[in-house]
Amino acid sequence: MKRIFLVLAVASFYTIFAAAQTADADDNQSWNDLQITVPVNEQFDFTLAGTLRFGKNITRLNDRRIAVGFVYKASKAKSWSFQPFYWNIVARNASGKFLTEHRLNFRAIYRFPFKRIAVSHRSWIERRLREPRNSWRYRPSLTFEKDVGKIIPGVKLFVTEEVFYDSILKRFSRNRFSAGINKTLTKNSSVDVFYLRQNDGFSRPGDLNVIGANFKIRL
C-alpha cells in the first residue's frame, strides 16, 4: 500500500509540474501597433512606430516599444526597399521584472507579383543590446497578399511565415505564422487585423496565440 501511495504521489506531482510548465510556456496576447510615415521624397520615408503588447491572457502590459527609422525605395517600381530602424523596448521578463533593450535592425524587402498574388520576401537582421548578454538574430519571412477589393472594397488578405535564428542558441529557435486582413480606412490610413501563432521551445512564455492590430497613417 505504501508503494502504491508513493507511486501515485510521484505521478500526481509530475502531472501538476508538467501542467505548470505547459501553462508557463503558453499565453494568449494582444499586440497593438501604430505606425506613422512621413514622406521625405519619392524614395525616402521617415517612420515612427509604437507598440503595446498585453499578455497573461491579455490581463497585463508585457512590453512597450518605440521605433524610429526610414525606408529607402531603391527602384521606381518599389520592388526593393531597405529599412534601418532603432527600437527602444521595455519588456517584462519571465520573472515579471521590466528590463530595457536597445535594438538596431536592418530590413531588406523584395516584392514581386506571382500571377494574381503579391509576394514579398523580407530579410531582417537585428542587434540586441540588453542585459545580461548582447546578441543578434536573423529573421527571414515570406508574405503572400491577395487583393479582394472586388468582393470587399478596400480589403486585402495576407499570410506570413517567419522564422528566427538566434546567435546565442546557434539555431532557428522560433516560428511565427500569421494571417489577417488589411483594410483601407481613408486615403492616408489603413489597419491590419491579424491572428498570429508563435512556437518557441526556449522562451517563457514561448508558444503564443496573438490577436493584433496595426494602424498605419501616412502624412
What is the residue extent of each domain of the chain?
28-218
Give the pLDDT of residue 77.
66
Give the pLDDT of residue 90.
97
Render pLDDT for 191-208 as a digit per residue (tens, 0 to 9).
Answer: 999 999 999 989 888 999
What gap in Å lies between CA 98 and CA 92, rounded to an integer?
Answer: 4
Give the pLDDT of residue 120.
96
pLDDT band at 1 (very low <50, low <70, confident <90, very high): very low
Give the pLDDT of residue 16.
35
Rg over alpha carbons for the chain, rounded to the nearest Å, is 21
Give the pLDDT of residue 55.
95
Give the pLDDT of residue 164.
98
Give the pLDDT of residue 15.
34
pLDDT band at 31 (very low <50, low <70, confident <90, very high): very high
More reliable by pLDDT, 16 or 56: 56
Provide, rounded to the nearest whole percent, the portion of the chain with pLDDT above 70. 88
What gap in Å lies between CA 111 and CA 74, rounded to an integer?
Answer: 12
What gap in Å lies between CA 27 and CA 211, rounded to an integer?
Answer: 12
More reliable by pLDDT, 24 or 99: 99
Q: What is the mean pLDDT of residues 165-185?
A: 97
Q: Which of 21-30, 46-55, 203-212 has the lowest mean pLDDT?
A: 21-30
Residue given cell 502590459 in the structure block: 61
The pTM score is: 0.84
What gap in Å lies between CA 109 and CA 122, rounded to an integer?
Answer: 4
Q: Does residue 12 register a pLDDT over 60?
A: no
The residues, ordered by sequence, that sit 6+ positions from 13 with a Cβ below 8 Å of its Cβ are none
Alpha helices, H only, 1-151: 2-25
CB 213, CB 185: distance < 8 Å? no
The residues, ordered by sequence, that sit 6+ positions from 93 with a Cβ below 8 Å of its Cβ are 99
Fold of 28-218: Porin (2.40.160)
Give the pLDDT of residue 48.
98
When the pLDDT of each residue in the chain is averaged and rounded to a whole number, the result is 88
Q: Does residue 157 register a pLDDT over 90?
A: yes
Render pLDDT for 88-134 as a digit per residue (tens, 0 to 9).
Answer: 999 998 788 899 999 999 999 999 888 889 999 999 999 999 988 99
